[in-house]
Amino acid sequence: MLSRVADNLYWMSRYLERAEHTSRLLAVKLETLLEQTPREAELSWRRVAAGLSGDEHVPSAAADAFEITRALAFDPENSSSLIASLQSARDNARQVREQISTEMWNQLNRLYLRLAPMDLATVWNDQPGHIFRDAVDELLMLEGITYSTMRHGEGWYFLELGRYIERAQLLSRLLDLHFGRASRSGTAPSYLDWVVLLRFCTAFEAYCKVYTANIRRDRIAEFLLFDPEFPHSVRFAVERLTDALTRVASGAPAQRRAACERLAGRLKASVDFGQIEELMGGTIDLFLTNIMSQCEQIHEAVQAAYISYDAETVL
């Protein structure tokens, strides 16, 4: 596979995962807007903003729910916003039209064209959460279309690799904001915040099936970090990205594959043998930061090995 094609597929998948994550967090936050006190809502909104855009893009504390939603969803200047992520995914998909199915392109193009001209002010007073809930549904439909209409060859595994690297990083950042930074700042999340966190990760019902409806901080951390069967746990994402790495560029020389596979193996070992009791003792923030850092190292190794290498490397 051409490195250009692999790069486009990889980034298309990362941007789509980012768009789905953004849509889901905004949908849940808007749906629970009336269930918190003003102070709780402000802290919750700041966690959402930090989780989606990073500290450098967090709106000021004086910003209201409308301004934060607009910045995170429809601000084209914010490279992490929903509309910017969809545009970047669409641009990458356009470059590899011959590699993806017509159904995939139509679904992505239709979603972007529906959201791009939208003015949040016109729908703000009429249950704005449904816009983002519909976007989540459309993106999940695109994932299903991709699974059903694209050959599960090398290109498919570059999509898988991008999706799960992005998911592992986004989940780790979100968990750090609830377990790590919140503890350090002295503003521990409330009971409702823990329920909302589970809903952010589409995990409330799955969590209840394992632990019943007993909402406990340590059990939420264990489930979202280490459950091997839940698609939005960190461990599940790490296992999938590790599997994808073993299947991409299978014809590449072993020395070019070694760095990627070594980094992925080290990351997998850290989540396979992590103990929630030790982490809740005060090291969970370091653990989550290390996962994000290792994902970034894997990304850089993939770029160096399969995407941006020069001719001398091959020769």
**pLDDT (tens digit per residue) in 52-110:** 876 545 555 456 889 889 999 999 888 889 999 999 999 999 999 999 999 999 999 99
Residues 122, 55 share a domain? yes
Residues 219, 272 share a domain? yes
Share of the chain above pLDDT 90, in %: 63
Domain end (from 97, 129, 150): 150
Of the pLDDT bands very low, low, confident and very high (cuts 50, 70, 90), residue 215 is very high
Q: What angle do CA 79, 305, 263 make, to 5 degrees?
A: 85
Q: What is the pTM of this model?
A: 0.93
Residues 118, 56 share a domain? yes
State the residue range of the domain holding 80: 1-150
Of the pLDDT bands very low, low, confident and very high (cuts 50, 70, 90), residue 34 is confident
Residues 164, 105 share a domain? no
Q: What is the pLDDT of residues 175-205, one digit of tens each?
A: 999 998 655 655 677 888 999 999 999 999 9
CB distance 22 to 85 below 8 Å: yes
d(CA 304, CA 258): 12
Residues 301, 180 share a domain? yes
Q: What is the pLDDT of residues 102-120, one digit of tens each?
A: 999 999 999 999 999 998 9
Residues 290, 183 share a domain? yes
Whole-number pLDDT of residue 42: 81
Among 108-117, 201-210, 306-315, the range scoring the smallest mean pLDDT is 306-315
Residues 278, 191 share a domain? yes
pLDDT above 70: residue 35: yes
CB distance 216 to 208 below 8 Å: no
Whole-number pLDDT of residue 57: 52
The residue-averaged pLDDT of 36-48 equals 82
Domain end (from 135, 150, 165): 150
Whole-number pLDDT of residue 190: 84
By CB atoms closer than 10 A (0-12, 13-18, 19+), residue 61 is exposed
Residues 109, 34 share a domain? yes
Q: What is the pLDDT of residues 251-263, one digit of tens each?
A: 666 777 888 989 9
Q: Is 117 or 34 the better-scoring residue by pLDDT? A: 117
Residues 115, 202 share a domain? no
3-state DSSP assignment of residue 241: helix
Whole-number pLDDT of residue 63: 64
Domain end (from 129, 150, 171): 150
Residues 289, 140 share a domain? no
CB distance 101 to 55 below 8 Å: no
- How many distinct structural domains can be found in the chain? 2
Whole-number pLDDT of residue 55: 52
Residues 242, 185 share a domain? yes
Provide the angle, in degrees to the nearest 10, between the axes of the packed helices 129-149 and 102-115. Answer: 170
3-state DSSP assignment of residue 233: coil
Residues 164, 80 share a domain? no
How many Cβ atoms are within 10 Å of 21's Cβ, its own excluded? 27
